[in-house]
Amino acid sequence: VPIVQTSTFVFENQQQMLDSVQGKSGGHVYTRWSNPTTKNVEEKISALEGTEDTHVLASGMAAISSAIIGIVKGGERILSSDSIYGGTVHLFDKILMQYGIQVDYVDTDELVNRLTDSRDTYKLCFFETPTNPTLKIVDIKKVADAAHATGTISMIDSTFGSPINQRPHLLGVDLVMHSATKYLGGHSDIIAGTISGSNELMANVRSAAKLLGGTMDPFASFLLDRGIKTLSVRMDRHNFNAKYLAEKLEKDSRIRKVHYPGLTSHPHHDIARKQMDGYGGMLSIELESNLAGTSKFVDSLEIFLNAVSLGGVESLASIPVLTTHYGIGEKALREMDIAESTVRLSVGIEEPSDLLQDLLAALDVIG
């Protein structure tokens, strides 16, 4: 599929244009509505996720906001796990509340019970697994089943997992969202988001997205398509490298805790093993240090780049309290199991022994 780098499309006559506007012909009218290059990558992501439809947008936050605004009305309520991306927390607490949408947070282990006990209370249940940044695992099928039993739409941020490691829709989740900036793109050179689901639900999401205007540029869609071509082989290396590092670091006394679902010591390892084909390239470590020492550790890394984001071929390191979860209250951080000494590692596809030596050298610097 060529890169159709255009904002508008030319028609032979008014009837042909009207047929496209009304959706009768399947033709494209305006790139804010649809574009052939973007449609091509949307079809590929639907095939990966096992969904009827996918909409690709200009960022992960555009995907989340378009889905929620397309489905949830003022006065309705959302149930969310308390361990989610900081940007999503700010969207829920600072934006949605202004429009009369209440979000109730619950511990990841209590999602199913809360859903079961709150029939007809919630329009939408939102959760992540693995969670950002402490890699908690939620039982996807149990949440999806509980949501369906109570008439609640389920929506997952599956960014950390990728469609190679987990396919939530096949386990019953209604809407699957990704920050495609991350593993789907894979090269840290685009900003993109995806939302996938049934044709019925996606019609509402697409209508909202069309008006909100978080449109994916056609060239960025081409780059996303390029990334998907190598997704499977990249994820194999991400999975291997992260598990290798987690197993090595777990034995280091200078590290208080290693968060990685592939470790048998992880509290939700059995759930992860049941619903994931691989455990992903993300891990978090909690150092035996304070914020100053943790900052020195990250600043001392050489292969791991000091940067936010994740899922690219290069390894990245960041401190959540200074980046993704900056500005979130101490109580909420504790509930997410995020400390000042927590470091999030996006493990790339470099030589694993080199990555380990980089981490060990930085640990030596802080003593």
Give the residue numbers marked as catalytic: 32, 85, 157, 182
Which residue shows structure tokens 């550790």? Answer: 297
Cα maximum dimension of the chain: 74
Q: Is-contact 211 79, C-beta < 8 A?
A: no
Q: How many residues does the chain have?
A: 367
DSSP secondary structure letters along 194-256? EEEE-HHHHHHHHHHHHHHT-BPPHHHHHHHHHHHHTHHHHHHHHHHHHHHHHHHHTT-TTEE
| Dihedral over Cα of 139, 143, 145, 146: its sign | positive
Amino acid occupying residue 292:
A
Give the C-alpha separation, 90 to 93, whole Å.
Answer: 5
Q: Is-contact 363 317, C-beta < 8 A?
A: no
The count of other CB atoms within 10 Å of the CB of residue 257 is: 17
Q: Which residues of 102-129 are buried (b: 16+ CB within 10 A; e: fewer)?
A: ebebbebeebbebbeebeeebbbbbbbb
Amino acid occupying residue 230:
T
DSSP 184: T
Q: What stretches of the chain show up as alpha helix (H) in DSSP?
A: 14-21, 36-49, 60-71, 86-90, 111-117, 140-149, 162-165, 199-212, 218-229, 231-249, 269-275, 291-300, 330-335, 352-366
Give the C-alpha separation, 275 to 198, whole Å.
Answer: 21
Give the C-alpha separation, 332 to 277, whole Å.
Answer: 31
β-strand 193-197 against 175-179: which pairing, if any? Answer: antiparallel
Using CB atoms within 10 Å of the CB of residue 367, give its burial: 0 to 12 exposed, 13 to 18 middle, 19+ buried.
exposed
DSSP 91: I
